[in-house]
Amino acid sequence: MEDKILEIMIEMEEMSEKVELAKAEKDKAEANINRIKNEMNEKLEVLKNIIEGLKKRRDNVILKIPDDYLKKYKEFKGKKGGIAVAVLKDNFCNVCNMQIPAIAAEKIEDIDEIYSCPICGRMAVIYRDEIDSIKKELES
């Protein structure tokens, strides 16, 4: 009987050690999870601030766009999967990646009218260096 009690006591000690190791591992995992949560919350706040800033910039830009262009833009955006404007560079559309006939591209250079890419149908603008500088500014 004493041997059996002794065996049980030894087994209890071993189990206690395993329980302590498991608790320590659990605590370490929880600390790691909390650290990751905090990092993600910080990144989320940064992204929320970026989005808010971009929305404000967008609102300011919208004020400068004539109403008829804005109406047309919204119309195209709704019909074209959220991408309303295509940039033509070297007679290629950056959305559908198709070459535009030279005659159509020449018409699109007229900034007093709204023209569409004859292939994908999106509003089309001719590439200018300012487009890259605006993109870089928005990305920074």
What pTM does this model have? 0.57
pLDDT of residue 140: 65
Q: From CA 138, how far away is CA 108, in angstroms rounded? A: 25
Q: How far, rounded to the nearest angstrom, does the alpha carbon of residue 90 sit from its chain's CA centroid?
A: 28
49-70 pLDDT per residue, tens? 999 999 998 898 888 888 888 8
CA 1 vs CA 6, 8, 13, 91, 113: distances in Å:
9, 11, 19, 95, 101
pLDDT of residue 68: 86
Q: Which residue has the higher pLDDT, 36 or 81?
A: 36
User: Is residue 100 over pLDDT 90?
Assistant: no
**Token pair for residue 67?**
């109403």
Q: How confident is the model at residue 41 (pLDDT cuts 50, 70, 90)?
A: very high
Q: How confident is the model at residue 36 (pLDDT cuts 50, 70, 90)?
A: very high
User: Is residue 78 over pLDDT 80?
Assistant: yes
pLDDT of residue 102: 82
Strands (E), the chain: 85-89, 92-93, 115-116, 123-126
110-140 pLDDT per residue, tens? 767 778 888 898 888 887 777 677 767 767 6
User: Is residue 72 over pLDDT 90?
Assistant: no
pLDDT, mean over the chain:
87
Q: From CA 80, how far away is CA 97, in angstroms rounded? A: 15
Three-class DSSP category at 23: helix
